[in-house]
Homo-oligomer: A and B are copies of this chain.
Amino acid sequence: MGIIVQKFGGTSVANPQCIENVAEKVINTKQQGHGLVLVVSAMSGETDRLINLAKQVQLQPNPREYSAIVATGEQVTMALLAMALLQRNCQAKSFAGYQVKIRTEGAPDHARIKHIDTDRILTEIKKGNVVVIAGFQGVDENNDITTLGRGGSDTTAVALAAALNAIECQIFTDVDGVYTADPRIVPDARRVDKVTFAEMIELASLGAKVLQHRAVEFAGKYNVPLRVLSTFEEGPGTLVTLNENSMEQAIISGITCSRNEVKITLKGLPTTSDVSYRILKPIGAADISVDMIMHNGYQDETRDFSFTVSKEQLPKLQDILPNIKEELRISEVQVNDNIGKLSIVGIGLKSHSGVASKVFEILVEKGITIYNIVTSEIKISVLIDEKYLELAVRLLHEGFNLGKAIEPGLIE
């Protein structure tokens, strides 16, 4: 008998009715003879409610106490789901993170899973119980409650699947899989049957919010077969695996876009060779991640230097920009938040040249300016005006034949 780990996110357990639907779904799987471990998030809205309470009494909530309070969200859901199963004569028992000894290390509110003691879980499965576990939480060496950071329930599920050597870790969500593009932008976007961990990490970190980044990394590291599927519809979903050489593997798995970028342009810099270093060193020291870097345009004895950061990091950046400006005698600083980043992701890019030039061709033909292009083994990202972002996704989706009607991802 193999063990399957199933994770249900906040919208899947939003209220008692949803929890009862999940219970019905779980019972169907149980009848197929698998050992079942369920991981649940807090009911949607509950974590925000708890954080709001915390912030009312402490401006910057203490991480230890913060974790104790927000961990209750998942504890409520786990017990409700166990009760919904019991009501349907399906044996079940719920456990909080500390009860199954999900040991963590690091900051109490951004903890990392170090070890899971599977004894209790395996004992309960052998007794015929469906084991329901509160996601997103653990316990540290002081027996203090810890949380994994937002979205951490995915990581809990993957870590449990790895520890239990599960045959599959199924992430149930409100979409039925990974798509070639956001269906709200591209109506004929196609569900992908299979992607690799590497592709999934790029898709997740680029704004395709199906799975938490760390969860996919974890699954890749421990080779846990991961499946993304819908709580609300039947279907096979998308399987995320190590396997790169499948016959059906397309060149391009998906196109994602992000509006979360700000482009900073420093104008009139000296052309000395250490300029980049003198700009980027204090930014790095302030713990700000720079994404794309552009040296765009030389004029006389000066040049411009541009880079992008995420919108959340802009305030931190603006604290240190005046110093940089003064030290390098920069004539002008421009902040542009009307830009967007579009990325094409695919394991097949490794072995296919010419994709980047085709991206240029498709966009430039329609008059879309590309401010920057960055290519890696499995990803090509371009920076363009935000107003063209959705148009560009549709153009590339069509240009690379990623739609439903035709054979996907083949270029001449």
A203→B84 CA distance, assembly (Å): 41
Task: Evaluate contact between A59 and B86: CB separation under 8 angstroms.
Answer: no
- Nearest Cβ in chain B — how far from A276, in angstroms? 43
* CB-based nearest B residue for A65: B79
Q: Which residues of B contact A57 (CB under 8 A)?
A: 16, 19-20, 23, 80-81, 83-84, 87
Interface residues of A, CB < 8 Å — how many?
39
Q: Contacting A75 at CB < 8 Å: which of B72, B79, B82, B99?
A: B72
A-B contact pairs, 19 of them (CB 8 A): A16-B57, A53-B80, A57-B80, A59-B87, A62-B86, A64-B93, A65-B79, A65-B83, A65-B86, A66-B83, A68-B75, A68-B78, A69-B75, A69-B79, A69-B83, A75-B75, A96-B145, A98-B98, A99-B143
A260→B96 CA distance, assembly (Å): 39
Q: Which residues of B contact A65 (CB under 8 A)?
A: 79-80, 82-83, 86, 93-94
Task: Evaluate contact between A58 and B84: CB separation under 8 angstroms.
Answer: yes
Q: Which residues of B contact A71 (CB under 8 A)?
A: 75
Q: A94-B68, A143-B99 are in contact. Are A62 and B82 (CB under 8 A)?
A: yes
A259→B54 CA distance, assembly (Å): 41
Q: A19-B57, A20-B57, A57-B19 are in contact. Are A76 and B83 (CB under 8 A)?
A: no
**Prevailing SS type, chain A contact patch:** helix
Q: Which of A14-39 contact B (CB under 8 A)?
A: 16, 19-20, 23
A272 contacts the other chain (CB 8 A): no
* CB-based nearest B residue for A81: B57
Interface residues of A (CB under 8 A from B): 16, 19-20, 23, 50, 53-54, 56-59, 61-62, 64-66, 68-69, 71-72, 75-76, 78-84, 86-87, 93-94, 96, 98-99, 143-145
- Nearest Cβ in chain B — how far from A111, in angstroms? 16
A83→B16 CA distance, assembly (Å): 31
A58→B20 CA distance, assembly (Å): 10
A73→B128 CA distance, assembly (Å): 30
Q: Which residues of B contact A98 (CB under 8 A)?
A: 98
Q: Which residues of B contact A72 (CB under 8 A)?
A: 72, 75-76
A56→B54 CA distance, assembly (Å): 28
